[in-house]
Amino acid sequence: MDLHLGVAAGDGRRAGLERALRDAVRDGRLAPGERLPATRQLAGELGVSRNTVKAAYDQLVAEGFLTARQGSGTRVAALPPVETRAPREREPARAPRFDLRPGSPDVGAFPAAAWLRALRSAVTSAPALAYDYGDPRGRIELRTALSGYLGRARGVVAPPERIVITSGYVQGLALLTRVLGGGPVAMEDPGLPFHREVVRRHGGSVVPLEVDGRGAGTPGDCRAVVVTPAHQYPTGVTLHPERRRALTEWARARGALIVEDDYDGEFRYDRQPVGALQGMAPGQVAYLGTASKTLGPALRLGWMVLPPHLVDAVADTKLHSDHHTESLGQLALAELIDSHAYDRHVRACRLRYRRRRDRLLDRLGARARVRGIAAGLHALVQVDDEERVLARARAHGLAVGRLGDHWHTPGAGRPQGLVVGYGTPREGAYGGALEALARALDETGSAL
Ligand SMILES: Cc1ncc(COP(=O)(O)O)c(C=O)c1O
């Protein structure tokens, strides 16, 4: 047998021989069942002592690469087949030419320079302990900064000790579902199917909660309700003051929890934003916010302001989930808020998205009716046949959201609409996206 064992020069003799044998077995040069040379022979060929070869064989027998049996010598073991296929990467779906799908802001507008400055400043002044495990609720710097920001910008009663920083809104929803310990959770219908799935996967059972022109109704017998009061997703309506009152009374009467998803509350264009529901009932509402719309989903930074009785349980569940959210991003966001760079960025975005919404309404003109308030990064455009418009949109390289994807139980007779995410395209692509949308509507004559 000609082994061609390449024993590397820097290795000790025994370690080098072990490595060379291992490699030869792994890459198939030594086939399963093949008999290895006797120790004396290999020692002679390699110019090493017999003990060195024997020790190397013994080691590889111990590791399972070789077998040694009295009478049949040392042989190559049959290794379990190696899985050579790499785990599948989540392939990015082929990007459409024009993208008006809801969900993301214009990530091209991420304030990279301001973020870098904030990160540099935060890292420069961070104590060494900032690099250690920390409080599961998150960095006190960020909780303090958010406490002030949420109070003045959203009317949230948010003492730092009741704030828990999360990996986006979605983790907050998952943690709360787990803490509630299952049971029925009412969720808006229509609403985001992904969030319904998150609740189910964490033990909740989802009950539909009807939405009309005044926002979500009042649930029946549930432990919790998840609502988007400032700007219902996807219909775009705001929760009527009477409904707000009814919902908080419902929660108080039953000791139920209202989960307030304030995902785009900073973006109101026609007037001052309506304050968060949490301000009316801090003991009944878990307020959840996120940096996904104001900065970018990639940061995975969200926050929850909890009623006092839930703080310890949520912090404990967070601890056993991921210790805490990554600290440096938290410090950078705290610095961004404290230096007012966050407010400046939000103001600039508000102007940009407001202009985009105006351009959308202009371009649609009399073609279509847009439902909901002047807010957020998406608009619901009513059509009479969403399937046909989507097919024409695809033909023009345009992807756009579909109201039909948001019902708990899709079916005939549902209102039809397009969920137009006007925040998504890069600035230069927006005009083309609007053009493609207008053409799709014209070709189908589908707009109401
Ligand atoms: C209705 C709604 N809530 C919350 C979020 C934010 O989720 P996250 O903070 O997990 O990115 C989004 C983002 O698309 C959303 O559409």
pLDDT of residue 343: 97
* Any ligand 1 atom below 6 A from CB of 191: no
Mean pLDDT of 349-358: 96
Q: Closest ligand 1 atom, CA of 168?
A: 9
Residue 122, CA distances (Å) to 113, 167, 242 in order = 14, 19, 44
pLDDT of residue 367: 81
- Map tokens 């214009």 to a residue: 106
* Any ligand 1 atom below 6 A from CB of 422: no
pLDDT of residue 402: 97
Distance CA 393, CA 412 (A): 22
* Any ligand 1 atom below 6 A from CB of 149: no
* Any ligand 1 atom below 6 A from CB of 263: yes
Name the pTM for this structure. Answer: 0.82
Give 29's pLDDT tier (boundaries 50, 70, 90).
Answer: confident
Higher-confidence residue of 91 and 356: namely 356
Mean pLDDT check: name the lowest of 23-27, 140-144, 429-433: 23-27
pLDDT digit string, tens, across residues 193-224: 999 999 999 999 999 999 999 999 999 999 99
pLDDT digit string, tens, across residues 232-286: 999 999 999 999 999 999 999 999 999 999 999 999 999 888 899 999 999 999 9
The most distant pair of C-alpha atoms in the chain lies apart, rounded to whole Å, by 93
Higher-confidence residue of 80 and 122: namely 122
The phi and psi torsions of 267 (rounded to 5 degrees) equal -105, 90
- Map tokens 């991420």 to a residue: 110
Strands 183-189 and 224-227: parallel
Q: Looking at the predicted structure, is the pLDDT value of residue 1 above 70?
A: no
Higher-confidence residue of 69 and 118: namely 118
Q: Looking at the predicted structure, is the pLDDT value of residue 446 above 80?
A: no
Mean pLDDT of 306-320: 98
* Any ligand 1 atom below 6 A from CB of 228: yes
Strands 204-212 and 98-100: unpaired
Give 4's pLDDT tier (boundaries 50, 70, 90).
Answer: low
* Any ligand 1 atom below 6 A from CB of 192: yes
The pLDDT > 90 percentage for the chain reads: 82
Contact 167, 322 (CB under 8 A): yes
pLDDT digit string, tens, across residues 76-99: 998 776 666 777 766 666 789 999
Distance CA 96, CA 53 (A): 61
DSSP of 47-103, one letter per residue?
A: TS-HHHHHHHHHHHHHHTSEEEETTTEEEE--PPPP--SPPPP-PPPPPPSEEE-TT
The phi and psi torsions of 221 (rounded to 5 degrees) equal -90, 90
| Residue from 292, 294, 301 to probe ligand 1 pocket by mutation (most atoms less than 8 Å from CB) | 292
